Amino acid sequence: MRLFLALFLFLIMPTRTVLAVVTLDSVFSYRSKMYSELQSVNHSKSLLHQYNPVSQLGKYYAHLGNYGLPMQSLLYKAPSSLLTTFTPASMSAYLYTTDSSNYYDTKRPYTDIQWINGLKKEQYLRLIHTQNITPRWNVAIDFKRYRNKGYLVRHLANNAHFTASTQYKSKNNKYQLNGAYSLNRLSLQENGGINDTVFLNIGFVDKASLPPILTLAARVSKSNSFMLNQRYYFVGNKDTSIKKNSAIIAHGVYFNLQNNYSVLRSHYVDNAPAPNFYATTNYDSLYTNDSNSVRIHNHLLALGYSSKTPHDSLQRWKYDTYIGGGVQQGIINYYNRRGVIAKPQLFKIQHTTFNNTYLQWQAQASNYKCNIAYNGQYNIAGYNGNNVLNNFVANYALTSTHVLSASINNTLRKTDYFNNEYYSNNYTWKNNFASTASTQLNVGYTNTKYRVSIQAFANKIQGYIYFDSLAQATQSNATILNNGLILSWHARYKKINWQSNLTIQTNTTPQQFVAPAILTRQLIYLQGSLFKNALPLQIGFDGSYMSSYKGYGYMPATMQFYNSNTIINPYPFVDFFINASIGQARIFIKAEHFLSGVFGNNYFLAKNSPAHDRAIKVGIYWYLYN
């Protein structure tokens, strides 16, 4: 009764206090990229119930209905590198990589613990810890583990991710080092989905009673990556206006050496293949037992120049530019185990090597009003020979309130090796696809006072690679045009908050390029505090909606989403949430998808894959610094 009374008082009190924002600018900061400017961490977690990438503003996915299982973005993203990759795109939202590692600088040890518990034995734990060993040397770890049984039979995701990073700079700042190590282990049960027709016609039912298409399929994948980046300023001037222990090289010429090493292994087993589920059977009709492994070396040596703006001269420009050459080498092995489960025979189907020799360059200039960045890559020889990438980004502040932005990405890139050559029991292809030519243009305007932004985008793609209705890699002969508009705003009136993201897009080839016409996420919530600001609260609704479109299916044998031509009908997905902050602890309670079944059972996210039932989830985030 006291809790309901407190919530009632929160709703009627006239206070305008907003959710507390605890910033530790003087204690903790981080670099999201090597050698970038330090950024202050924001501990507000004002929408901390959005821990799942699927539920975050501006992100839209087709997925399998369970946290930790594969997902596919419904918005096109231009390539950021020419180098071939073997990381499955369907799991990229979860994976830790050395490229995404953060580098920290702390005056005190810092720890962030996150724990989430939900129905169907969902357990989520994340631990972040960082501290400076010396004023010039920092180490950090980030560990995440989650296990989610799911609502369907054989729907389990049991994954673990770990990354460690370090940065060091010499006393005179001429030598700087960044290093990172990442580990990902995925253990997934694969059920192939359920029968759509049966589920749609039976009304309310416990999903655990529905038979899956695949009854004995599973995948285990593991990846390890190591990166070491060293920079040495052999010409450099100190800037005495910059405080001690910060970036005191005002102007400098440097050598940069980066070394990367990655190992990826994946193993897929199906001990009871369903009739007509796979396109073909190449080696064994009774069992599928495939694995592949990849080892990749990548080394880049660059020469660069950087300058940093003194604190007493905001109007001066600062620059950072480099050009370098690199080599990428890889070894790929495909295996198949044939025969009985107990003692299968191991066969190496294919052994392949590949290499790339490339040039890479970057230039960046900025002052207090403008930021301009340009980076490019050209592959001289090898698998991606004669491919080129150019990417330009600019932001300009007309005033402190009005900000303009623009970007253009122009790429000629040969598809990843997996799409050209693959060997397994159920899928084998050896293609010779032409390089894909793509151009992505974005222009935008942001009003920081009213928290409104509008962005227009235009994508032109020639030679697009997709997976057809048989889940086979295919190249389109059409020129794909994908244009659209993104509107975002955060409106406030007293305690009422309305955050919105609306994407409207067109697509000239829906049979080959999946792009729903309308995608939106809306948050409406009350924000205030109780007990003299001791308990900041957010109470509200978080909903998403997509228009009808020809959607994806998922093929577990290749970890790829394919164009199924199955119509995914619209359904409102709505969550109710309460976020609270008590001292250094942040807590959320969420009733997820509480409209499940209200408008029927037609709430599919991909072919044969419905969303989960309504679920209660509780999360606690606790950060410590001492």
Q: Encode pLDDT of 229-277 as tens digits.
A: 999 988 775 654 444 444 455 678 888 999 999 999 999 999 999 988 9
Radius of gyration of the chain (CA): 26
Q: Under a CB-based contact definition with an 8 Å cutoff, are residues 297 and 252 in contact?
A: no
Short-list 301, 302, 224, 221, CA closest to 261? 224
Task: Give the model's pLDDT for residue 250.
Answer: 64
Q: E-strand spans in 119-192?
A: 122-134, 137-148, 157-169, 175-190
C-alpha 334/C-alpha 423 separation (Å) is 6
Residues 6+ apart with CB under 8 A from 509: 476, 478, 480
C-alpha 551/C-alpha 515 separation (Å) is 8
Q: How many CB atoms lie within 10 A of CB 359?
A: 16
Task: Give the model's pLDDT for residue 33.
Answer: 54
Burial of 600 (C-beta count, 10 Å sphere; 0-12/13-18/19+): exposed
pLDDT along the chain (626 residues), means of 10: 39 31 38 51 65 87 92 92 85 90 87 90 92 92 94 92 94 89 96 76 69 93 95 72 50 88 93 89 87 91 77 63 88 76 68 89 87 93 92 94 96 92 90 95 95 96 95 95 96 93 94 93 91 85 94 94 92 93 89 85 88 89 83
Q: Under a CB-based contact definition with an 8 Å cutoff, are residues 242 and 114 in contact?
A: no
Alpha carbon 87 to its chain's center: 12
Token pair 């009632």: residue: 8
Alpha carbon 340 to its chain's center: 39
Q: Under a CB-based contact definition with an 8 Å cutoff, are residues 558 and 424 in contact?
A: yes
Short-list 62, 90, 216, CA closest to 153? 216
Task: Give the model's pLDDT for residue 196.
Answer: 67
Short-list 92, 112, 362, 348, CA closest to 221? 92
C-alpha 249/C-alpha 121 separation (Å) is 52
Burial of 221 (C-beta count, 10 Å sphere; 0-12/13-18/19+): buried
Helix (H) or strand (E) holding 552: strand 549-555
Q: How many CB atoms lie within 10 A of CB 308?
A: 19
Q: How far is CA 146 from CA 157, 160, 201, 438, in A?
A: 8, 7, 33, 37
C-alpha 594/C-alpha 615 separation (Å) is 7
Task: Give the model's pLDDT for residue 155.
Answer: 92
C-alpha 107/C-alpha 247 separation (Å) is 16
- What are phi and psi for residue 418, nearest 5 degrees? -55, -40
Strand 318-338 and strand 288-307: pairing? antiparallel
Task: Give the model's pLDDT for residue 70.
Answer: 94
Is this model's pTM higher than 0.85 or not? yes
Task: Give the model's pLDDT for residue 89.
Answer: 87
